[in-house]
Structure 1
Amino acid sequence: AEYPGFFASRRNYDIGQGVDSSGIWRSGVLEASWRIGGSSTAELAAIKIMKQDPDIQLVRASAVKTFGNTSRLPDNADVHFQGEDPDEGPITRYTVVTNATREPPRKAVG
């Protein structure tokens, strides 16, 4: 390996998905970010899980920011902030892990 012991904790892709006006499913990468710097709370949650269990192959986690009064959060939400922002109004920020598996990711069939 070019950089022995290197662990890339910051690989981030913004994805857009949906059905176009013809009814065809479309997906696209809006932004790819591979940089040194602060990790999102989702990345930190995934790293923590993978360090606790090195056999974990895939973690699905989300860093969520909601606006307005949030009455119901996921049971496993790790809430970082829930309060009133002077400019934005009520905001809730939390991290949620939806999946962690020892199975390798499946390749898309297409």
Structure 2
Amino acid sequence: MLTITGYSVELIKDPFGILTGKRYEWMLDIEVAEDDELHSDNGLYVRVIYVVEENKEGMVRYEIFEKTNDKYVDFELEDDEQAVIEAFCKDNLAEATK
């Protein structure tokens, strides 16, 4: 299981009006147990694209990176880990819309 230790969030600007709804980019610092196959001594963060539209909202994409070198980590999170991230984004969305 992962733990979110810090984050930042920004509205993704759509100057051409191509996208529907609003998109937010979340950068979530995470910690995972040393015995987890995802663990990295370099630390990890997850880049999340979260969409808010009239009829739906949720995570549409995520990518995992090592903190120290921004190296992409080709790894898929388990369903429960994805649910933790999506719930975190949803619970903290009010801050992004200030």
Question: Same fold, TM exceeding 0.5?
Answer: no
* Higher Cα Rg, which structure: 1
- The TM-score with structure 1 as length reference comes to 0.27
Larger helix share, 1 or 2:
2
